[in-house]
């Protein structure tokens, strides 16, 4: 097969981000915008040693699950990946995405529950973060093109709230007339509190100059009475961090207030807050149900953020302690707790790993531990400390199925049984999915304990020439955001004819199944081997 060659194939599956997968003579191709079961005329656009990318030239057999994207920028804008899928197909894709890692990585024989979706999977977002730039002398604003820093000029977005779109439209029109201000701006951030219908606008500038910002603020306040505050944020950094440290209040107040299930939350420019308020309530209700609180429990909430889940739980528990390393988040959490008159809530600013280790060493025994870690998941030491505290239930809220599955496998080895896995669609039209998992403390039957020896659990660096396994893992994680096992690295090295020592892939069981490295991870490992001059 050569670049630009035309061929036909039928889509067999999806990648983790929703691209179609076609195998041509056993060789995998990833094709954007192709649905499972569809047959198409494909043009090869990129070839690697172990996989390729294709482009649909003509759709020969259309799936009944295909949808007409409502957005004219679908396929170009990087904000959405799945508008060509019907919503039931999106939910099925996300369920399978979670199921795959639960089976393959967590190694659990457990059926993932159907994804809880939305009635109306559009116009749901309460936050828009829009880059601004000048291209060929013209002001552009919108979201980045897929895998690029190029801005796709956008008039409105069908997953942002209607009110955000109206406010953005006013800003966009103003910037078309004031290019000098557009040159000062890095991003425009708009936040919408659905329950109170309040808007906050943050103008993120490169310099302190604010004359143009003040004029825009006056225009916005006059045009939209829902705007309660406009802030200028100054960010002089040269990297991709969006918000700077210094802020100037241009109009109104520096926050908006929102309400979820009777709880009031104050949201500032830097506050973390779930972007889908409709599904946030669903997500937290699932977490609450998993906790099975009677009013007498001591609950530990690790990675508590601004305390949203903590407050949901505190109404049904004797005491909830929230732990978070970000000082601003803890300050907001304490303010929110006071605003809602909680007396059984305590928030502590600390590294989750360090605090969990201290609690475990002191012999603390919370009844329930809730964790809502960042995308990278929990450190193994945190999971070990959780097991030492021996709660009856662990509730794990995750935004990354891969790291969730890794952590569930560790918890399984520590004696915790995964009882239920419930995905919630917080991000319709995109490949993202949140998951709520319930684990319970089980007794280990000593007669069933067995010791298995595998390359995945070993440090094989002493056998290797060139980069160690850990160096390869670190490179792949940093550059591609993928976690790869020693087993996968050894499989790719063997394909390249590199020595991997003994064949640790083999099992004494005749029917043993060895997990095979997925194409995207194989490609990333191959690039790492090239980087370290091993191939």
**CA-to-CA distance for 111 and 99, rounded, in angstroms?**
7
**CA-to-CA distance for 112 and 94, rounded, in angstroms?**
10
Q: How many CB atoms lie within 10 A of CB 244?
A: 16
Please list the alpha-helical segments (H only) found in 224-324: 277-291, 308-314
Structure tokens at 226: 């829902």
Q: Is residue 493 within 8 Å of 465, Cβ to Cβ? A: no
Nearest to 442 by CA among 415, 420, 407: 415
Is there a binding annotation on residue 372? Answer: yes
Structure tokens at 396: 């794990």
Find tokens 């999106």 and name the residue. Answer: 90
CA atoms within 13 A on the CB side of 165: 13
Annotated catalytic residue within 378, 399, 496, 517: 399
Q: How many CB atoms lie within 10 A of CB 286?
A: 23
**CA-to-CA distance for 333 and 339, rounded, in angstroms?**
10
Structure tokens at 244: 């700077």
* Contacts (Cβ under 8 Å, ≥6 apart) of 395: 287, 290, 291, 368, 369, 370, 371, 436, 437, 438, 439
517 annotated active-site: no
Please list the alpha-helical segments (H only) found in 270-373: 277-291, 308-314, 327-339, 352-361
Exposed, middle or buried by CB within 10 Å (0-12, 13-18, 19+), for 498? middle
Is there a binding annotation on residue 274? Answer: yes
Number of H helices, E strands in the chain: 13, 22
Structure tokens at 334: 């304490």
CA distances from 352 to 2, 195, 369, 393 (A): 51, 32, 12, 18
- Residue 460, phi then psi, degrees to nearest 5: -100, 10
**CA-to-CA distance for 183 and 134, rounded, in angstroms?**
7
Annotated binding site: 274, 303, 324, 372
Residues with a known catalytic role: 399
Annotated binding site for S-adenosyl-L-methionine: 274, 303, 324, 372
């Amino acid at each position: 097969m050569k670049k630009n060659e035309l061929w036909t194939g039928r889509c067999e599956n999806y990648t983790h981000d929703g691209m179609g997968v076609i195998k041509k003579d056993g060789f995998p191709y990833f094709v954007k915008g192709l649905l499972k079961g569809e047959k198409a005329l494909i043009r090869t656009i990129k070839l690697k040693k172990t996989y390729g990318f294709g482009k649909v030239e003509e759709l020969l057999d259309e799936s009944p699950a295909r949808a007409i994207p409502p957005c004219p920028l679908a396929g170009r804008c990087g904000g959405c990946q799945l508008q060509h899928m019907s919503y039931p197909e999106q939910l099925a894709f996300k369920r399978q995405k979670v199921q795959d890692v639960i089976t393959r990585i967590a190694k659990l024989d457990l059926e993932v529950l159907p994804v809880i979706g939305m009635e109306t999977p559009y116009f749901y977002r309460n936050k828009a973060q829009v880059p601004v730039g000048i291209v060929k002398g013209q002001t552009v604003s919108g979201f980045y093109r897929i895998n690029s820093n190029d801005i796709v000029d956008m008039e409105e977005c069908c997953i942002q709230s209607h009110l955000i779109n109206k406010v953005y439209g006013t800003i966009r029109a103003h910037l078309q007339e004031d290019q000098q201000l557009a040159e000062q701006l890095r991003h425009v951030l708009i936040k919408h509190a659905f329950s109170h219908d309040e808007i906050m606008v943050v103008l993120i500038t490169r310099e302190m100059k604010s004359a143009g910002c003040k004029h825009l603020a006056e225009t916005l306040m006059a045009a939209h009475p829902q705007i309660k505050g406009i802030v200028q944020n100054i960010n002089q950094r040269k990297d991709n961090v969006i918000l700077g440290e210094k802020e100037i209040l241009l109009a109104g107040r520096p926050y908006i207030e929102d309400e979820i299930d009777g709880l009031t939350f104050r949201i500032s420019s830097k506050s973390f807050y779930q972007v889908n308020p409709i599904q946030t309530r669903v997500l937290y209700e699932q977490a609450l149900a998993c906790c099975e609180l009677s009013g007498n429990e001591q609950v530990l909430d690790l990675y508590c953020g601004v305390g949203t889940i903590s407050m949901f739980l505190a109404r049904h528990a004797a005491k909830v302690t929230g732990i978070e390393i970000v000082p601003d988040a803890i300050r907001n959490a304490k303010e929110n707790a006071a605003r809602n008159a909680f007396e059984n809530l305590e928030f502590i600013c600390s590294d989750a790993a360090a605090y969990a280790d201290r609690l475990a060493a002191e012999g603390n025994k919370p009844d329930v531990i809730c964790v809502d870690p960042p995308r990278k998941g929990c450190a193994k030491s945190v999971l070990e400390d959780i097991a030492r505290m021996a709660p009856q239930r662990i509730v794990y809220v995750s935004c990354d199925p891969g790291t969730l599955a890794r952590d569930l496998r560790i918890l399984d080895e520590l004696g915790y049984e995964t009882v239920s896995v419930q995905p919630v669609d917080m991000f319709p039209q995109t490949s993202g999915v949140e998951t709520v998992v319930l684990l319970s403390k089980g007794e280990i039957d000593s007669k069933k304990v067995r010791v298995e020896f595998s390359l995945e659990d070993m440090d094989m660096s002493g056998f290797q020439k060139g980069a160690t396994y850990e160096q390869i893992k670190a490179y792949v994680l940093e550059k591609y955001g993928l976690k790869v096992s020693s087993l996968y690295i050894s499989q790719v090295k063997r394909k390249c004819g590199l020595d991997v020592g003994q064949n640790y892939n083999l099992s004494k069981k005749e029917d043993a199944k060895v997990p095979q490295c997925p194409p995207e991870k194989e490609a990333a490992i191959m690039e790492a081997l090239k980087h370290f001059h091993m191939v």
